[in-house]
Amino acid sequence: MAAWLTPEDVRELVQQFGVKFIRLQFTDLQGVLKNVAITADQLDKALAGELMFDGSSIEGFVRIEESDMYLRPDPSTFTIFPWRPRNGAVARLICDVYTATGEPFAGDPRQVLKRARLEAEKLGFVYKVGAEAEFFLFHLDEKGRPLLTTQDRGGYFDATPNDLGSEARREMVIILEEMGFEIEASHHEVAPGQHEIRIKYDDVLATADKIATFRFVVRTIAQRHGLHATFMPKPIGGICGSGMHISQSLFKDDTRNIFHDPYGEDELSTEALCFINGLLQHARGITAVTNPTVNSYKRLVPGYEAPTDIAWSFQNRSPLIRIPSERGLNTRIELRSPDPSCNPYLAMAVCLRAGLDGLARGELPPPPCYENLYELTDRRREELGIGRLPGSLQEAIEAMEADPLVRETLGEHVYERFIKLKKAEWDSYRVQVHPWEIERYLTLY
């Protein structure tokens, strides 16, 4: 993925590497990657934005009477799949979605992020984001269906050279780097079968594209190793779940990180503090977007290294926001609540708008918290004025509906359909009788 690629560059690369098939990719509202496959003979038509698809078949897009939609590829996202044969190679392009009248489609998550990014650009800022994405690798049964078992019993940073998961993770990193990613680190996480790959910060749109690609690559390579990769936040109770910490910074002219002030307290600028306050003020409202599933809230519970309290600090890893120790160009704000089931375009759009709202208001956050928030009593939490993240998808939806900034960021089309999808998901979950209830109540009453 390279920002300098033009349509002509793409044509030349397709010819040079003998690309036969090209996947035109985009995401639905829930962040699920979709694609339309074409042959290289159709590339000119695709680059001209003339390829049509049925938008009514995509979750949260349009009704059947409005179904004609068009894909316009972004040349900078062209990449060849390294794991496919070189003879008759396969490549992909990430696309923006347009209506039949030639207008950007309001329901396209990538367009939502582009609008938020444009607001930052008008203020002279480049919003850069890095991500630490966690996932589990599980075995498959004899029919190829995923299980909840793993052969490794490793822990945080453990080295397990004979483990199939470690070998799969190594190939994932190699493939991602061949596709233009800069991988800062990869390692085994806290729970058995859990892994993390850290993606270096980049322009927010490039990072969102990378996360969508990352999930596709990880699952594909896992399958090649006879494993199933899942980004489900909490597949197993009683152990740590998978998060996707988002590290954020604002740059001026792509060379100066405005969150760094060598003369500020702890070398943080006033802009950084105001951005933090914006995230804190809108934390509850944006949680349904950054943590969009019923299962997300099984991770956001005390005691499993995921944040539940709306506070910030430096080295303390229990609050919602942490400021890592690096300064200069690497000064950043780490939001620890998001999980890898989120739509990266929507999640980063609401984070950016929340931070920009903090800048516009110019209000400083409360003092950083140095206590272990997991051990705070309710009384002490009240004394410190620390709020809590939503405890369920239903509570998160209610908080989202109470925060006008989220509606404004997503736009009416995405907002209404997202709320509708999430309410239906909650209702489907709410009416089920779960195994826990049978075990607890069937013989008790």
54 is catalytic: yes
253 is catalytic: no
Q: In angstroms, how far is CA 212 from the centroid of its own chain?
A: 8
Alpha-carbon span 154 to 148, nearest angstrom: 16
Structure tokens at 277: 């306050």
The DSSP letter of residue 417 is: H
Q: In angstroms, how far is CA 404 from the centroid of its own chain?
A: 22
Cross-strand pairs, 310: 387
Catalytic residue among 152, 189, 261, 309: 189
196 is catalytic: yes
Alpha-carbon span 59 to 28, nearest angstrom: 6
Cβ burial of 20 (10 Å; 0-12, 13-18, 19+) is: middle
CB neighbours of 15 closer than 8 A, spacing ≥ 6? none
Alpha-carbon span 170 to 159, nearest angstrom: 12
Instruction: Answer whether 80's CB lies under 8 Å from 89's CB.
Output: yes
Instruction: Answer whether 58's CB lies under 8 Å from 34's CB.
Output: yes
The backbone region for 249, taken as left when phi is positive above 0, alpha when psi lies in -120 to 50, beta otherwise, is beta
Structure tokens at 108: 């396209």
382 is catalytic: no
Q: Which amino acid is at 183?
A: I
Closest CA to 226 of 323, 95, 122, 137: 137
Q: In angstroms, how far is CA 171 from the centroid of its own chain?
A: 22
Instruction: Answer whether 291's CB lies under 8 Å from 342's CB.
Output: yes
Alpha-carbon span 170 to 379, nearest angstrom: 47
Catalytic residue among 171, 267, 305, 334: 334
Catalytic residue among 8, 54, 412, 437: 54
Catalytic residue among 28, 108, 134, 202: 134
Alpha-carbon span 74 to 206, nearest angstrom: 11
Catalytic residue among 108, 132, 209, 339: 132
Catalytic residue among 110, 215, 228, 245: 245
Alpha-carbon span 38 to 20, nearest angstrom: 9
Structure tokens at 130: 């890095």
Catalytic residue among 108, 152, 196, 261: 196
SS3 sequence, 5-60?
A: CCHHHHHHHHHHCCEEEEEEEEECCCCCEEEEEEEHHHHHHHHCCCEEEEHHHCCC
Catalytic residue among 228, 336, 388, 413: 336
Instruction: Answer whether 286's CB lies under 8 Å from 274's CB.
Output: no
The DSSP letter of residue 215 is: H
Catalytic residue among 11, 115, 225, 317: 317
Alpha-carbon span 59 to 53, nearest angstrom: 14
Positions annotated as catalytic residues are: 54, 132, 134, 189, 196, 245, 317, 334, 336
